[in-house]
Amino acid sequence: MKTKSYSGLIIPVSIIIHLMIINGVLFLLTPVTYLNIISIVFYNVSWLLITYAMDFYPTRRKEKFMTNIKKLIYLYLIYGLAYFSWFSFSERGFASVEHQLLVYTTICLCFTIYRWFFYLLIRNYRLKGRNYLNVVVVGRDKNLKKIRRVFDDPYLGYRYHGFFDEGKSKSPTYLGGIIECFKYIIDYDIDEIYCIAAKLSKNQLQDLINFADNNLIKIKIIPDNKDIFTRSMFIQQYDNIPVLNLRQLPLDTEISRAIKRFFDIIFSSLVIMCVLSWLVPLLFILIKIESPGPLFFKQKRDGLKRKAFWCYKFRSMTKSDDANSKMATKNDMRITRIGRILRKTSLDELPQFINVFIGEMSVVGPRPHMELHTSDYSISVDKYLVRHFVKPGITGLAQIRGYRGEITKPSDILNRIRLDILYVERWSFSLDLKIIYKTVINVIVGEEKAY
């Protein structure tokens, strides 16, 4: 007999293991704060309430270790606030902040190791032919090939039997006409039916729904996407009408914006106090010695929702009439000697941390373009303005992938915008940290287009 879907024990076992980790680490590392009945109740109940509120435990078949990693980080942050808030109510208090940070970090590390082991175990379990679902598709269009890629992934545990369709087909996975699917589904113990809505009439679809309900079989509808779906789409329910939001972005939520803004303020404050405080007077002398003009170069650029702002840089060129229309090119005669060093090391961008601090930019995001270029690209490059759904950044995904500086061929701007949109649609705090890390590495080793 085959193993059905996820075992009903997976979630209870995961909850028990998480509670064992919490209690075990606290008992071993901080017995003074743990060996108190009220503390024990608080640590355990707060975990259960927070995970319930976040809908943390329901595990979907397509989930992997990195799936919903953002939710895991939020969970660590929220439970951490609960963990440390307890000491303000506890009469015992705690002897060392550093020790309690070590204790909580150990708890989170154990959670992460368990998560890794859990998905590794599920993967191996499915690769051995267990915990799988029998599925068929009713109807056939171009979506069939796309969903087959999901079914054919052995990690996910699907067993695709084939498809039913009114039109005859020589495909080895063709199982017959739609009317034949009912008997096949019963005979072969099918768990899930996927219906391609565009290929079925209302009566056919209703018959399949009734059949599935009466036989305890799950049925899923694949809508006609007309090639308009995006990676960031989200279905919302308006009464009983499903409404497809094609541009549901991670930074649309208040908590995501708050996390990103909090990081921007902290990071930019540190740069301003620890770097710009001594670098500004030093560069003021060096830049003034080489060429007349101001220390800072400012330029109008388009930001969030295409709102213009003054973007600041250390001046790296001599004054010219085409500064607001012509990008710097390789061996550009306008670049000064000190300016060449600043641009090569990206130090000329540091004043933009002032833009970050006052909220016009972010540390990470699509690079802001000149107003003239924004006007041109918004017409010539498809979906160009999607990048303006978020604040522009000092560095971004496109920049660490090599698409920075001069545009020498059409593919340069197309790839840059493609990566900008990918960042907008897939933002996460961990992605920001990866981009910052890669940016620092690139500055150290040097970049080909940094001129």
Q: DSSP 3-state helix, strand, coil percentages of the chain (rounded to 5)?
A: 55, 15, 30
pLDDT of residue 4: 43
Q: What is the mean pLDDT of residues 412-424?
A: 91
- Structure confidence by residue, pLDDT tens digits, 179-219: 999 999 999 999 899 998 888 888 998 999 999 888 888 88
pLDDT band with cut points at 50, 70 and 90 for residue 239: low
pLDDT band with cut points at 50, 70 and 90 for residue 94: low
pLDDT band with cut points at 50, 70 and 90 for residue 281: very high
pLDDT of 127 over the 80 cut: no
**What gap in Å lies between CA 275 and CA 144, rounded to an integer?**
56
pLDDT of residue 6: 44
Contact 99, 190 (CB under 8 A): no
pLDDT of 249 over the 60 cut: yes
**What gap in Å lies between CA 435 and CA 398, rounded to an integer?**
10
pLDDT of 290 over the 60 cut: yes
Which is more confident, 302 or 322? 302
Which is more confident, 113 or 121? 113
Counting beta carbons within 10 angstroms of the beta carbon of residue 115, is it exposed (0 to 12), middle (13 to 18) or buried (19 or more)? middle
pLDDT of 90 over the 80 cut: no
Lowest mean pLDDT among 159-173, 318-332, 333-347: 318-332
DSSP three-state, residue 219: strand
- Structure confidence by residue, pLDDT tens digits, 335-352: 888 888 888 888 999 999
pLDDT band with cut points at 50, 70 and 90 for residue 329: low
Q: What is the mean pLDDT of residues 89-94?
A: 57
pLDDT of 131 over the 80 cut: no
DSSP three-state, residue 448: coil
Q: What is the mean pLDDT of residues 251-265?
A: 89
pLDDT of residue 283: 92
CB atoms within 10 A of CB 368: 28
> What is the pLDDT of the chain when averaged over all its residues?
84
| Strand duo 308-314 + 234-238: pairing | unpaired
pLDDT of residue 393: 95
Which is more confident, 86 or 238? 86
pLDDT of residue 364: 96
pLDDT of residue 168: 80
pLDDT of residue 76: 92
How do the domains of the chain map onto residue ranges?
10-127, 133-227, 252-445
**What gap in Å lies between CA 22 and CA 41, rounded to an integer?**
12
pLDDT of 3 over the 50 cut: no
What are the structure tokens assigned to 127, written together?
A: 């690769």
pLDDT of residue 448: 65
pLDDT band with cut points at 50, 70 and 90 for residue 174: very high
Residue with tokens 């979906």: 383
- Best CATH choice for the domain 133-227 from the list 3.40.50.150, 3.40.50.720, 2.60.40.10, 2.30.30.40: 3.40.50.720
Longest Cα–Cα distance in the chain: 87
Which is more confident, 143 or 361? 361
Which is more confident, 238 or 84? 84
Helices 97-127 and 10-29 sit at what angle, rounded to 10 degrees? 150
Which is more confident, 357 or 222? 357
pLDDT of residue 358: 95
pLDDT of 322 over the 80 cut: no
Query: Which among 316, 319, 386 has a CA at the least distance from the CA of 349?
Result: 316
pLDDT of 308 over the 90 cut: yes
